[in-house]
């Protein structure tokens, strides 16, 4: 969500990198919730020491959290919330507009001085300062969470939709993607760091590019009649789906399916037949018209209970089923079921409150659960793409609320080379307070 006050008592909301946790900033501090269950929303931490928090980011399911408040908008505070200690804080010469985290880097972007600061997440050392970046008043940027493909994306222009892709490992620019004709409104990476989705301020077309090549892979049309403000883009964990939320009442989910070389579907259908007719006719039509005809439409949709409110969405697997999570600016979390085979209208199964007293958190609105029969395949089995073999790692010495349990096999993208043990008291010792000016690294 954008910075600033966006609702009664709620200033910001963000899901962590693997969508197991939700962080919200409020007028009185910030709260962290575990979102690994549909029926129960656990508040795992609450802090009232810092008021008016407009940025709060948690590193996966660890104890590390980054906080920025309106009272000190130029200072980034890094906490170990389980111990209640501050690891460090950094002061910048201008307001902080966005913070992005992965297991290796901590990216802090200050748009008023048109700069991006890249820190090492382990010791918070400043690794690189990108100066004279295009004016970026919304602080738009994205950071991939895969350690092998640790890329940073940010606007390359303030007048058109150019995307700069920067290698955060080698600290060098990779490519520039001419994504849209109008300025960017949203960008996000897939978990593997090999795909990048983008939307412009017009909000009618969403595009997906290969990384690092920058080749266009998919193009989706969100709508045609009106321009909208897309506030959130999110890939599913396996990058087979992409959700987009805006200031309208409809949220869209797109399916990233690869068409066969012949362009035919596995099973002939009337829609496939009509699609082939449009494809054949598009060669005789103007480029703008044929381009619109070739764009894929939403695979699934959600009709939100509110319109005109800012929200942030994410796709996650909760209790072995695909879910869509939407945190709204009025302080509610909506959980929807998704049909990964047929799509269509998603079903609301639960609604939780995000602020208020502890009693209020427990007074959630019950919705009828419509779980698929147990015989149905799991989400991962339904949409997984065949590969030469999954890359996995065995987790050792890591246990946090909302995260994997000790000894459980987790995806490769969860780790950096030589994983950081965030529960180790010596891993993030307090460091001296630092101030960062306009310096070139």
* Boundaries of domain holding 133: 10-369
Is residue 432, in this structure, part of any structural domain at all?
no
Is residue 229, in this structure, part of any structural domain at all?
yes
Residue 139: Cβ-neighbour burial (10 angstroms; 0-12, 13-18, 19+): buried
Question: Could you tell me whether strands 195-200 and 230-235 are parallel, antiparallel, or unpaired per DSSP bridges?
Answer: unpaired
Q: Write the CB contacts of 381 (distance below 8 Å, at least 6 apart in sequence).
A: none
Q: Write the CB contacts of 43 (distance below 8 Å, at least 6 apart in sequence).
A: 31, 32, 33, 358, 361
Is residue 19, in this structure, part of any structural domain at all?
yes
DSSP symbols for 14-75: EE-TTSSEEEEEESS-EEEEE-S-SS--EEEEEE-SS-SEEEEEE-TTSSEEEEEETTEEEE
Q: Say which CATH number the domain at 108 has.
A: 2.130.10.10
Whether the Cβ atoms of residue 202 and residue 210 lie closer than 8 Å to each other: no
Report the number of distinct structural domains present in the chain: 1
pTM: 0.76
Is residue 114, in this structure, part of any structural domain at all?
yes
Q: Is the dihedral of CA 58, 64, 66, 69 positive or negative?
A: positive
Is residue 418, in this structure, part of any structural domain at all?
no
Tens digit of pLDDT at every position of the chain (441 positions): 444 334 446 889 999 999 999 999 999 999 999 999 999 999 999 999 999 999 999 999 999 999 999 999 999 999 999 999 999 899 998 899 999 998 876 666 655 568 999 988 877 888 899 988 999 999 999 999 988 889 999 999 999 999 999 999 899 999 999 999 999 999 999 999 999 999 999 888 999 999 999 999 999 987 655 678 898 999 999 999 999 998 888 899 999 986 544 444 444 434 344 444 444 444 444 444 434 434 578 999 999 877 677 889 999 999 999 999 999 988 999 999 999 999 999 999 999 998 765 454 444 444 444 444 333 333 333 333 333 332 222 222 222 333 333 333 333 333 333 434 444 444 444 444 455 554 433
Is residue 440, in this structure, part of any structural domain at all?
no
Is residue 223, in this structure, part of any structural domain at all?
yes
Is residue 409, in this structure, part of any structural domain at all?
no
């Amino acid at each position: 969500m954008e910075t600033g006050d966006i609702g009664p008592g709620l200033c910001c909301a963000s899901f962590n990198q693997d969508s197991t946790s939700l962080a919200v900033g409020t007028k009185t501090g910030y709260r962290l919730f575990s979102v690994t269950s549909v029926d129960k929303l656990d508040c795992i931490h609450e802090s009232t020491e810092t008021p008016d928090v407009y940025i709060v980011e948690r590193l996966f399911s660890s104890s590390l959290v980054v906080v920025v408040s309106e009272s000190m908008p130029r200072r980034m505070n890094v906490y170990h919330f389980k111990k209640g200690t501050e690891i460090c804080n950094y002061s910048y010469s201008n307001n902080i507009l966005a913070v992005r985290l992965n297991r290796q880097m901590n990216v802090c972007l200050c748009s008023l001085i048109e700069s991006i600061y890249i820190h090492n997440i382990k010791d918070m050392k400043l690794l690189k300062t990108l100066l004279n970046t295009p004016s970026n008043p919304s602080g738009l940027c994205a950071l991939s969470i895969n350690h092998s493909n640790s890329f940073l994306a940010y606007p390359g222009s303030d007048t058109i939709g150019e995307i700069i892709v920067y290698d955060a490992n080698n600290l060098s620019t990779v490519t520039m993607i001419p994504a849209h004709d109008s300025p960017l409104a949203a960008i996000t990476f897939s978990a593997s760091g090999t795909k990048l989705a983008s939307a412009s301020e017009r909000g009618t077309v969403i595009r997906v590019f290969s990384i690092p090549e920058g080749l266009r892979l998919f193009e989706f049309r969100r709508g045609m009649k009106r321009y909208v403000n897309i506030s959130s883009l999110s890939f599913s964990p396996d990058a087979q789906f992409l959700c987009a939320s805006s200031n309208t009442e409809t949220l869209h989910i797109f399916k990233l399916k690869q068409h066969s070389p012949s362009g035919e579907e596995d099973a002939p259908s009337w829609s496939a037949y009509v699609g082939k007719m449009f494809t054949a006719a598009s060669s005789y039509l103007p480029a703008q018209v044929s381009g619109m005809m070739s764009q894929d439409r939403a695979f699934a949709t959600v009709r939100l209970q509110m319109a005109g409110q800012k929200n942030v969405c994410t796709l996650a697997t909760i209790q072995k089923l695909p879910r869509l999570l939407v945190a709204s600016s009025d302080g509610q979390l909506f959980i929807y079921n998704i049909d990964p085979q047929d799509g269509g209208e998603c079903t609301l199964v639960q609604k939780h409150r995000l602020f208020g007293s502890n009693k209020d958190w427990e007074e959630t609105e019950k919705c009828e659960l419509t779980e698929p029969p147990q015989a149905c395949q799991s989400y991962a089995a339904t949409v997984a793409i065949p590969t030469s073999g999954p890359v996995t790692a065995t987790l050792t010495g890591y246990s946090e609320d909302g995260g994997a349990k000790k000894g459980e096999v987790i995806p490769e993208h969860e780790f950096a080379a030589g994983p950081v043990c965030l529960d180790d008291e010596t891993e993030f010792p307090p460091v001296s307070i630092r101030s960062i000016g306009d310096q070139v690294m």
